[in-house]
Amino acid sequence: MSSFQCPFCSNFMSVDFGTFAKKYVSFAEYPFESNGDPRNRTPNESCVEIDFYKCPNCEKYSIVANGLGTNVNNISSSLQPKSSAKQFPDYIPEAIRQDYEEACAIVNLSPKASATLSRRCLQGIIRDFWGISKARLIDEINELQNKIPAQQWKVIDGIRRIGNIGAHMEKDINLIVDIDPDEAQKLIKLIEHLLDQWYINRHEQELLYTDIIDIDKAKQSERKKTE
Ligand SMILES: [Zn+2]
């Protein structure tokens, strides 16, 4: 039995009749040889295979479309969720999550625009998480320098510079600096890393602290009862 990881909640589910359905969309009623080997997926008629997964944990649907056959074999797309973006919790501001998700959604179509969105996402994070707000990102990043580890700061300043390529026209408009999808994907990874390191760590720390304080309060009141 194969398994599938839910992109919404990261739960691993077993793929069976309850969690998985497959449909073929085509001009043909059934686009495969009826007595053909099911593992040989070359259809008689071009078709789009649509896979539905229903997560037993969060009950969300993941839907993937794949083209099979010469006329459609360039189709390979996740219909839901729209991209490989991770689902971050609601306590991260919506504007930041949106920029991040859009940066993921267009990373292959326009890596330069994706890098620009990653840069804007970074600015949103610095303003919200660190409470630093200035007219220019470069000034905000400079103010961040003494608050975070030196190596991390250097990398963040790097995102700013790379994202600049998309955000501002080069002085010489004939000079085109390209960003490839792998490079734009690396920036997305870094945004994910910062969201984990800053927002999620802070949230988990707060929960842990609250738990400890509550345990302490409970013990103190128990002690009072026995005195
Ligand atoms: Zn799920």
Ligand 1 center from residue 18 Cα (angstroms): 14
Determine how many CB atoms are found less than 10 A away from the CB of residue 41: 14
The pLDDT value given to residue 158: 84
pLDDT at residue 183 in the model: 87
Q: Is residue 226 part of a domain?
A: no
**Residues 75 and 98 occupy one common structural domain:** no
**pTM for this model (two decimals):** 0.65
Which of 3, 7, 41, 1 is CA-nearest to residue 24?
41
Determine the Cα–Cα distance for residues 70 and 46; give it in Å rounded to an integer.
6
Give me the phi and psi of 138, to 5 degrees please.
Answer: -60, -40
Other CB atoms within 10 Å distance of the CB of residue 146: 8
Give residue-wise pLDDT tens across range 92-116.
Answer: 999 999 999 999 988 878 888 999 8
Residue with tokens 């792998």: 182
pLDDT at 136 over 70: yes
| Residue 124 lies in domain | 94-218
Confidence at 200, pLDDT banded by 50, 70, 90: very high
Which pLDDT tens digit goes with each residue over 63-76? 999 888 888 877 87
Find the 5 Cα to ligand 1 centroid distance in Å.
Answer: 8
Contacts 24+ apart (CB under 8 A), 128-131: 128/93, 128/96, 129/198, 129/199
**Higher-confidence position of 116 and 225:** 116
**Distance of alpha carbon 65 from alpha carbon 55, whole angstroms:** 17
Task: Record the tokens describing residue 83, joined without a space.
Answer: 């991209």
* Ligand 1 center from residue 158 Cα (angstroms): 34
**Statement to judge: residues 60 and 98 lie in one domain:** no
Q: Is the pLDDT of residue 81 over 90?
A: no
Domain boundary among 80, 114, 129: 80
User: Is residue 148 very low, low, confident or very high in pLDDT (cuts 50, 70, 90)?
Assistant: very high
At 174, the pLDDT band (50, 70, 90 cuts) reads low
From CA 60, how far away is CA 173, in angstroms rounded? 46
Q: Which amino acid is at 89?
A: P
Residues 143 and 192 in one domain: yes
Shared domain for 140 and 177, answered yes or no, is: yes
Choice among 70-74, 169-173, 176-180 with the minimum mean pLDDT: 169-173
Tally the domains of the chain.
2
**Residue 135 belongs to domain with CATH number:** 1.20.120
Taking the centre of ligand 1 as the mean of its atom positions, its distance from the CA of residue 208, in whole angstroms, is 25
Answer yes or no: do 121 and 207 share one domain: yes
Judged against a pLDDT cut of 80, whether residue 129 lies above it is answered with yes
Q: Contact at 8 Å (CB) between 5 and 12?
A: yes
Question: Does 206 share its domain with 112?
Answer: yes
Any domain includes 89: no
Q: Rounded to the nearest whole angstrom, what is the distance from the C-alpha of residue 30 to the centroid of ligand 1?
A: 31
Q: Grade residue 12 by pLDDT with cuts at 50, 70 and 90.
A: very high
64: three-class secondary structure by DSSP: strand
Ligand 1 centre from 121 Cα, in Å? 25
Does one domain contain both 76 and 43?
yes
pLDDT value for 166: 61
**Ligand 1 centroid – CA 63 distance (Å):** 13
Please, what is the average pLDDT of the chain? 87
The residues near 190 (Cβ < 8 Å, ≥ 6 apart) are 118, 155, 159
Measured CA to CA, the distance from residue 172 to residue 81 in angstroms comes to 39
The string of DSSP codes covering 23-41 is EEEESSSS-S-TTS-TT--
Q: Report the pLDDT averaged over residues 3-14.
A: 88
